[in-house]
Amino acid sequence: MAEFIKKERDFVVPGDEIISSMDYLPGRNCLREGNSIYAKRLGIVNVDGRVISVIPLTGVYFPRVGDMVIGEVEDVQSNGWVVNINSAHSAYLPLSGVREFIDTSKTDLSRVYGVGEVIYANINSVVSGNSIHLSMQDPRCRKFRSGRIVKMNPSKIPRLIGRQGSMIMMIKDLTGCRINVGQNGIICIEGEKEDLVIKAIEIIEHESQSEGLTDKISLLLGGSNKPHAPETHKETQEEIQAEKEQEIFDEQEAESEGDFDRKSND
């Protein structure tokens, strides 16, 4: 087996050689040239079996099917809505993506979602990167009638959610706010302690790489020093290992937010 030039969890910049071996495959944000695998983006090395990928630490949002996003309605068209989802291209929410039946001859579409209104939607399909279709079929999808909108670097959203949603769950419990997180870096907060939540989000964004973040946020929000994740205090070897695996900005983590959110809504 070849030696890793950059090990798992190591920081890489574009052009860094990760490994010189044909035993591994280049995954996301990596490329193979000759025998070697190189990083394409600034980020952290992730090794999953034989696939090497780079988890980006920065960058604008690019939509992926299945992502929950928060967007602002930009335009109402004859059979759908154009929604700004904080990405390079606007998304389109067709009539067929809406849960209820709407008779276009009787209803004015702007009364369903008007220009400037903010919705929580699911990305249904992405064709060649620029035709993005949304759907409101998911039970979590809705229109926001109150609350505050905060923006965050999209690549730091998994940190805000935490493993198995531990971080966001803790913030929700300690502040009593209703928080919806969009994978596109937009967060909607509804509740009395909005300011506290915004402060917590700012800390998470600026110190996303530091350790013991969960404890720090817990203290800020006035929780006990022993928050939700009891595993952070069980410093066994397995726990440390699990932490290493989980703490990387993993997409799986981000996806798990979906399950957890569904539970809380049901």
Partner 1 sequence: MKEFKREDGRKVDELRPVVIKVGVIEQADGSALVSMGKTTAIAAVYGPRSMHPKHKQVSDRAVLQTFYLMAPFSTNERVRPGPSRRSQEISKVTREALEPAVFLDEFPKTGIDVFIDIIQADAGTRTAGINAASVALADAGIPMRDLVAAVAAGRIEEHFVLDLGGKEEEVTKCDIPVAYMPRKKQITLLQMDGDLSPEETKEVIKTAIKGCEILYEKQKQALREKWVR
With contact defined as beta carbons under 8 Å apart, do 195 and 203 qualify? no
For partner 1, how many residues bind (rule: CB under 8 A)?
28
Residue 89 binding partner 1, by CB under 8 A: yes
| Ranges within 184-223 binding partner 1 (CB under 8 A) | 209-210
CA 169/CA 209 separation, integer angstroms: 20
Kindly tell me which residue out of 2, 7, 13, 219 binds partner 1, with binding defined by CB under 8 A: 13
> Measured from the CB of residue 11, what is the shortest distance to partner 1 in angstroms?
5
Residue 14 binds partner 1, judged by CB under 8 A: yes
Single out the residue of 5, 8, 27, 40 in contact with partner 1 (rule: CB under 8 A). Answer: 40
Residue/partner pairs of 215-221 with CB below 8 Å, 24 or more apart:
217/167, 217/170, 217/171, 218/170, 218/174, 220/196, 221/170, 221/171, 221/174, 221/175, 221/196
Q: Does 88 bind partner 1 (CB under 8 A)?
A: yes
User: Which residues ranging from 103 to 162 are in contact with partner 1 (CB under 8 A)?
Assistant: 128-130, 155
Residue selected from 27, 56, 94, 147 as contacting partner 1 according to rule CB under 8 A: 56
User: 226 near 233, Cβ under 8 Å?
Assistant: yes
Residues forming the site for partner 1 (CB under 8 A): 11, 13-17, 29, 31, 38, 40-43, 56-60, 62, 88-90, 128-130, 155, 209-210
